[in-house]
Amino acid sequence: MAAPKVALVTGGAGFIGSHVVDRLIAKGYQVAAVDSLVIGRKENLHPKATLYQADIRSPDLREIFAKVKPSYVFHLAAQASVIRSVKEPGMDTDVNVLGTINLLEQCRAFAIERFIYSSTGGALYGEPERLPCGESHPIRPLSPYGASKYAAEVFVRLYGDLHGLKHTILRYSNVYGPRQDPEGEAGVVAIFTRRLLAREDALIFGDGTQQRDFVYVADVAEANMKALAQKKNDSFNIGTGKGASVNQVAKELVRLTGTKNPPKHAPARKGEVYKIWLDARKAKRGLGWSAKVGLSEGLKRTVDYFRA
């Protein structure tokens, strides 16, 4: 019997990365997770995965690749806070661009079979000219985060052209679900859920009519699995194709948590898109993927997780 293929997941102890690790292990892969544990947590990681605590910018990455010998690399490690990127654009670029280049260099040196890059759709296109927003929409990010994630995309494609690196780029809408970190600048669903369950005030920045495409984390993990079977280099939006307002999400979370304390409003924040949802029809054609978990069911699962 042939030995199982090895997958390396950066950010593997993080929110989305740990779900990707779970799916890989369920499919029989050996998994190495690279995570700095600045945001990621050991308790998120499947016990069958091997953890290497390292920053993606570190020269230690070469030693890890030499030891692990991965066939596939899933790149999910990132500085993912829009607000922090506005305050610290240099740091954001250092992690998201230079960190990705360091990783791509190891992929080139060790001749991996496929590189699957987790990018952003929600922060990439800017304020949409048309909705839903397709992959051919102009790229006009409103934040350093969106700009750095796109710059990394450019380098992924460059390594494909220069070095024959086979790759798939997945552009996520607003991902939510179990294990999302409710501290700091995490996603609105995790922040609201934690605060509402604790009977604390939840804040909506702006009037709450801003709309997002909320996609459940299990669906995103499945998109990563579908990307393994890709034969050509391509980019895909990963979203539901539908918008939901922050007010709508907050109202549903108030109902699910049983709180009597509805969210309060605060001034809108810079760098955030007002209204966006993604056209994911290309992913259905090219990956055989579409979102399966509806917003109501996904929010219920998320509340159940945080409550437990």
Q: Do 201 and 275 form a contact (C-beta atoms < 8 A)? A: no
- Residue 240 has a pLDDT of 98
CA–CA distances in Å: residue 150 to residues 99, 121, 234: 14, 10, 14
Active-site residue, from 145, 150, 176, 216: 145
- Residue 261 has a pLDDT of 82
Q: CA-CA distance, 215 to 206, in Å (whole number)?
A: 22
CATH of domain 6-173+216-238+284-291: 3.40.50.720
pLDDT digits 0-9 by tens, 12-38 = 999 999 999 999 999 999 999 999 999
Mean pLDDT, range 261-288, rounded to an integer: 92
On the CB side of 56, CA atoms within 13 Å amount to 31
**Domain ranges for the chain:** 6-173+216-238+284-291
Does residue 145 have an active-site annotation?
yes
pLDDT digits 0-9 by tens, 116-141 = 999 999 999 999 999 999 999 999 99
Q: CA-CA distance, 283 to 302, in Å (whole number)?
A: 25
Mean pLDDT, range 153-170, rounded to an integer: 98
Structure tokens at 301: 């699962």
Q: Do 69 and 109 form a contact (C-beta atoms < 8 A)? A: no
